Amino acid sequence: MTSEEMPQMDILEGEKCPVCSENTLTLTEMERDIPFFGMVAIFSMDCSSCNYHKADVEALEENEPAKYTLEVNSEEDLKIRIIKSSMAKVKIGTIGTIEPGEAANGYVTNVEGVLNRMKRQIEHLKEVVDDPADAKKAKNALKKITRVIWGQEPLKLVIEDPTGNSAIISERAVKEKMKAKKN
């Protein structure tokens, strides 16, 4: 990428953190063209005092609420691009769900990146659970993720986004309209 092709990044430092109220928050915004999806704005907030972090992705074109489903069948499928907004719910087969919420982040990654995020969450849970049955469930979920990453087991990945700011960028991904939730 030449310097002319590099996305412009706007950085604002010394802002007030919403968590610790110190003026140590850095706001970053960048626009990027994602092939087969369009222009997106990528935002992040990082506090150097309390380590607060929040990130999100927003489509710059208006999108309808959408649900994407992808059958992951091979190691090659792990490279498929994923755009996930902080409002999206990600269902990873029978392994688990990444729920939207106050602490949720948006990001651009690939299928393997989503699986690795889930793997880290399960590894953490496995360390803190007291119930041996829950620890065994976590261990089995980790084994399943490893088999999927090695291309030894299929998996269904579903992203539901009421804002339409998420996508699975693949001809094999099935896109369906979602009904917008009313407040």
pLDDT tens track of the chain, all 183 residues?
444 555 688 999 999 999 999 999 999 999 988 877 788 899 999 999 999 999 988 888 878 999 999 999 999 999 999 999 999 999 999 998 988 888 788 899 999 999 999 999 999 988 888 888 988 999 999 999 999 999 899 999 999 999 889 999 999 999 999 875 544
Q: Which CATH class is domain 63-183?
A: mainly beta
Q: What are the CA-CA distances from residue 61 to residues 58, 74, 107, 163 (Å)?
A: 9, 32, 17, 11
Q: What local confidence, expressed as pLDDT, does residue 181 receive?
A: 56
Q: What local confidence, expressed as pLDDT, does residue 2 receive?
A: 47
Is the distance from CB of 174 to CB of 80 less than 8 angstroms? no
Residue ranges, comma separated, of all CATH 2.60.120.1040 domains in the chain are 63-183
Q: What local confidence, expressed as pLDDT, does residue 1 receive?
A: 47
Residue ranges, comma separated, of all CATH 2.20.25 domains in the chain are 1-61
- Give me the helix-helix angle, 132-149 and 111-128, nearest 10°: 160
Q: What local confidence, expressed as pLDDT, does residue 101 receive?
A: 81
- For residue 182 the two structure tokens come to 């009313």
Q: What are the CA-CA distances from residue 154 to residues 86, 103, 144, 149, 159 (Å)?
A: 26, 29, 9, 9, 17
* Distance from C-alpha of 125 to C-alpha of 174, rounded to nearest angstrom: 31
The full DSSP string for 144-156 is: HHHHHHTTSS-EE
Of 164, 166, 168, whose CA–CA distance to 178 is shortest?
A: 164
Whole-prediction pTM value?
0.81
Taking domain 1-61, whether its CATH number is 2.20.25 is answered by yes
* Distance from C-alpha of 25 to C-alpha of 16, rounded to nearest angstrom: 6
Q: What local confidence, expressed as pLDDT, does residue 148 receive?
A: 93
